[in-house]
Structure 1
Amino acid sequence: MSIPILDLQGALSRGGPRSAEVARQLRAAAVGSGFFYVRNHGVAAQQVARQFELARQLLEDVPPGTRERLDMKNSPTLRGYERLGAQTLDLDAKPDLKESFYCGMAYPADHPYVRAGYQTYGGNQWPAQVPQAPAVCEAYIRSLLALARRLMQLLALSLALPEDYFDGTSESPMVTLRMLRYPAHPPDADQHTFGAGAHTDWGAITILAQDSHGGLEVCMPDGTWADATPIDGCFVVNLGDMIPRWTNGLYHSNPHRVRNRHSSGRPRFSVPFFYEPDYMARIEAVPGTVPAGEQPRFTPCTAGEHLAEMYRRTYGKPAEGTPA
């Protein structure tokens, strides 16, 4: 089994001539692994390259002491630096061999969600050594948010819903940009050692830029693990845990993991963009996904409630500003 490639040429705008065709391809991917590549996605190669260079600067050039002072635990929005081994995505594995830098959309201080202290709404932490970081990340977030919103429209079409069905859930979206650095996989690593342990993503859509080394592995529907080999000019897209809730289990959010085994000892960098809808967006089975006479498989919730539960599972406590 392989991960399909969706060409967005002619489907990047509402009513595009290939929108229905791409929506059918998206449906086939979504009921399978929940993973697919996208090409002709509208994001310039130079912008992606600039984001990788920024990731390198933040995680290699900024002095370790400065990075530690910017630890995400010091931020009410959990933005900033995450040290090596701070996260364990697979609870049956060892701590993840990765470090990262988180940021998100810069909502104004008077936004009601910022005033309420909701997770992902608020300020970022930046090192003075990389003054261009805020502008570079904000530009990248704008580009990837436009792509994520378009993918949600294609997802609506794939479910035989109006193209704008999900538009209202994206007024004040929760958006996280994460820049990741994986050291080389240890030559003596055991079966419980990963750069990122097997996990599913929490939100709606993840759009991943990965460097040329590879290392991402996807659990396919038959239970085998497949390499998500880097393809020039393509992002890897996967559906997060909100999508099964929205589709009553029809569409899948499959496990994936990372092992940096193909880089000849060099670090691997990746830049995932996590799109989640508005904090108060209702996540419940959409029309046409619950068979007649049956009850929905998932309890309806808000996107914020879903996020709080995911933080409980991974970090053992709710994020600041999320329901207890």
Structure 2
Amino acid sequence: MGDSPEDALTLSALPVISIEPFLHPDGHGRLSTAAALHSACSEYGFFYLDISSYIDPAEPEELTRLAREFFALPQDEKDRISIAHEDSARGYQRLEENVTNGKADNHEAIDFYRPVENPDKRRPIWGENQWPTIQGFREKYETWIEKMKNLGMIVMEAMATGLGLTPEEWHELRSKVDDSFWVMRVIGYPPLPNDYDGFSCGAHRFLHADPIPDALQVFLAHPGLLVEKTGSLPAEQEVEDGGHWINADPKRGCVVCNIGEMWEVWSNGIYKSTLHRVIHKGSDYRIPFFFEPNFDARIEPLPTALRAQEEDRSLRGIKGVRKTYQPVVYGEFLLKKVGTNFDTGKGRYDGD
């Protein structure tokens, strides 16, 4: 990239990538889709995934309707499935009960995790999911969960292809996520007060949202990146610490995807977990689904990523010790992260 403004990369919106080629065995266009994912993951850490050929857009709209119905219930009815009745993780949280970076988030939510054998609510995240009694709620959300789990594995394969894994290496990586300890949140946001000291959801994989513009924002910190002004972001929010906040407005038939910490470790930093936040001026509903590794999976940099970095360093004549991410057991990582969710410090999944 050159030094002149003409040579700088201009971005007005996140890239849109269709997963269609990976929905069929030997689908045409797989390599170009994998290359597009690799570019999006390494450049931005965020992208729109077009899943219109995978789901009926009316399905997530029905999930949003059910979420709206639940959050409209009287407070005492919502509190019947409070996290206080379970493992302090699974269930409903009131407004400002969730914390990100030491500040209360102005949203309420229901959290669901992968069911576990021998549940014990005395153990963190090891209890049972609590479901609203609204007709059709559990049935329709469980159907969505199965579809998102399947989609998660499909995207994992596409990303593995884009990173250049061999079939054997993909088989090994697949064994780390074939029993995903997934997490799903159903979030309701009231309007953010003008004097509120925080965000609807502080700076924080598949995300479905109501079609509300100027709410979800992604932080891009690339030197030389020109960002076209879109939407109604206040000027003071467009540039911060040498980077830019851009809108990630909902697109029908798409989910917004971001790179999580585990992919950052697997890729040894080639893919970055990107800062993002939610600022609401009106009511909105979001249903993020986190496709995670198996609870006991050991996560460490992939040989393919290390080889690619060594080749790049050699071509550029870089010497010295390369930074290598330390291995982590996913379940241990998750317990530490959830442990700060209702305290000070970093919130769950950076507060998505």
User: TM-score, normalised to structure 1's length?
Assistant: 0.84
Larger radius of gyration: 2
Report if the CA contact (8 A) 2:267-2:302 is conserved: yes
Q: Which has the higher contact order (CA 8 A, sep 6+)?
A: 2
1:50 corresponds in structure 2 to 62
1:211 corresponds in structure 2 to 210
Residue identity matched to 2:177: S
Q: Alignment partner of 2:143: what SS?
A: helix
In 2, the alpha carbon distance for the partners of 1:117 and 1:162 equals 42
Q: How does 1:1-324 map to 2 (within 5 A)?
A: 1=11, 2-41=13-52, 42-61=54-73, 63-76=74-87, 78-91=89-102, 94-107=103-116, 109=117, 114=119, 120=125, 122-128=127-133, 130-162=134-166, 164-165=170-171, 166-186=173-193, 188-189=194-195, 192-199=197-204, 206-214=205-213, 215-222=215-222, 223-261=243-281, 263=282, 267-290=283-306, 291-292=309-310, 294=321, 297-316=324-343
Quick one: structure 1 residues 117 and 36, their matched pair in 2 at CA, closer, same or farther if it must change by over 3 Å?
Answer: farther
In 2, the alpha carbon distance for the partners of 1:32 and 1:135 equals 38
Q: CA deviation at 1:102?
A: 1.4
Quick one: structure 1 residues 127 and 211, their matched pair in 2 at CA, closer, same or farther if it must change by over 3 Å?
Answer: closer
The root-mean-square deviation of aligned C-alpha atoms, in Å, is 2.4
Q: CA deviation at 1:12?
A: 2.1
Percent of counterpart pairs with the same letter?
27
In 2, the alpha carbon distance for the partners of 1:99 and 1:115 equals 25
In 2, the alpha carbon distance for the partners of 1:295 and 1:280 equals 27
Paired residues in the alignment total 298
Counting helix residues as a fraction of each chain, which structure ranks higher?
Answer: 2
Quick one: structure 1 residues 297 and 66, their matched pair in 2 at CA, closer, same or farther if it must change by over 3 Å?
Answer: same
Quick one: structure 1 residues 286 and 145, their matched pair in 2 at CA, closer, same or farther if it must change by over 3 Å?
Answer: same
Gapped runs of 5+ residues in structure 2? Answer: 1-10, 223-242, 311-319, 345-352
In 2, the alpha carbon distance for the partners of 1:182 and 1:20 equals 39
Q: CA deviation at 1:221?
A: 2.8
1:321 corresponds in structure 2 to none
